[in-house]
Amino acid sequence: MTPRGIAILGSTGSVGTTALRVLARQRAGFRVCALTANTNATLLRAQAGEHRPSFVGMVEASEGADAGWAVGAECLVSAAVRDDVHTVINAVVGAAGLRATIAALGAGKRVALANKETLVMAGGLVTAAARRGGGELVPVDSEHSAILQCIGGRPMSEVRRLIITASGGPFRTWDAARVQSATVTEALNHPTWNMGRKITIDSATLANKALEVIEAHHLFGIPYDRIEVVVHPQSVVHSFVEFVDGSVLAQLGVPSMELPVLYALTHPDRITDTGVPAFDPVALSPLTYEPVRHDTFPALGLGIRAGVAGGVAPAVFNAANEEAVARFLAGELSFGDIARAIASALVAAGDAAGDTLEALVAADVSARAHVREFA
Ligand code: MG
């Protein structure tokens, strides 16, 4: 077959570099056509030298940019809608990836979505863009990749419940008082996954799991009361799907993002790849499960309630969380303040409708301003 053209938005981040590692092994099936990065010109230049894309873009204008590169935030959309691109891997961090996702789906592309904030902020608009433009949304998130693989093309009327696994993060066994005052270094020390800074903090607060519940609601069109979360410290079972007859399927694998990235490119097919270590059930045992400690990790409940409330609430939850995490990383807020700042922003936003991109972007902007003032 002719190699499929791939655009990677956010190519110098954790998922972007993982995707390029996978693609370097799979040159027969895929060709890197477009790369964009936020600020890391040095790594972007090295990636462009190796993969020879026809388009290179950088979001932040900088002296490090090469003369032939597109510079500015609009390079994300330009890369996403190119004629030579079949699949867009959207690995941009945060709400900045939204317009590119909508544009790519509107242009009939497959979007391999690692940018879960896109779906959380504007799930209704994104799924509508896919329906309208003929585009296809495939998750890169390991939990959602697991669910997609377990459902295996069966109709959602046969699915009773999704059970999303959570590692529990670095503070799973800490008492509540100690969690409140955890340091940045402690929060960045994730037990099972090696990821970017923002998502690692989200895993420590469990805000990441809230984003994933909202993401699952939109990706699979399933009501919130049929999505559950269970703590599974080993991160080997990536999620469960319970069917209407009571049978449960799970997807397992070593905790490497290379697996869900590759599956997002080939779904519903599978291709030969030996990039990750062989699965060894004995070495990976035992596998254990625990209930979520909602009192210690209130961000999860806040996010799920925002999802159920709908309107601008999920966008407010997402924006407030991004801003609070940035302030925590800057040493301006305590770990416990992250959830308090999100709760405060949700109360301030009220229950406004969120059915246009403008309304959602406005809610995002005010939530960020609210959290910047939070003390
Ligand atoms: Mg995940």
User: What's the 141 CA to ligand 1 centre distance in angstroms?
Assistant: 5
Q: Could you tell me the fold of the domain covering 4-139?
A: Rossmann fold (3.40.50)
Which tens digits make up the pLDDT trace of 275-321? 999 999 999 999 999 999 999 999 999 999 999 999 999 999 999 99
pLDDT reported for residue 355: 86
What residues sit around ligand 1, an ion, with C-beta below 5 angstroms? 141-143
User: What's the 67 CA to ligand 1 centre distance in angstroms?
Assistant: 37
Give the Cα separation of 76 and 97 in Å (integer): 8
64 forms bridges with which residues in the sheet?
A: none
CA 193 to chain centre: 14
User: What's the 167 CA to ligand 1 centre distance in angstroms?
Assistant: 9
Whether 94 has a pLDDT exceeding 80, the answer reads no
User: What's the 279 CA to ligand 1 centre distance in angstroms?
Assistant: 20
Structure tokens at 92: 């941009």
The per-residue pLDDT of the chain, averaged, comes to 95
User: What's the 92 CA to ligand 1 centre distance in angstroms?
Assistant: 15
Whether 36 has a pLDDT exceeding 80, the answer reads yes
User: What's the 249 CA to ligand 1 centre distance in angstroms?
Assistant: 18
With cut-offs at 50, 70 and 90, classify the pLDDT of residue 118: confident
User: What's the 54 CA to ligand 1 centre distance in angstroms?
Assistant: 31
CA distances from 294 to 169, 195, 301, 338 (A): 13, 24, 7, 15
Mean pLDDT score, 138-154: 97
Strand order in the sheet with 237-243: 227-231, 159-166, 237-243, 248-252
User: What's the 205 CA to ligand 1 centre distance in angstroms?
Assistant: 14
CATH architecture of 310-370: Orthogonal Bundle (1.10)
Residue at 164: amino acid letter: I
* Whether the Cβ atoms of residue 170 and residue 191 lie closer than 8 Å to each other: yes
Choose among 159, 147, 155: nearest CA to 267.
Answer: 147
The residue ranges of every structural domain in the chain are 4-139, 145-296, 310-370
| Phi-psi sector, 114: left (phi>0), alpha (psi -120 to 50), beta | alpha
pLDDT reported for residue 195: 78
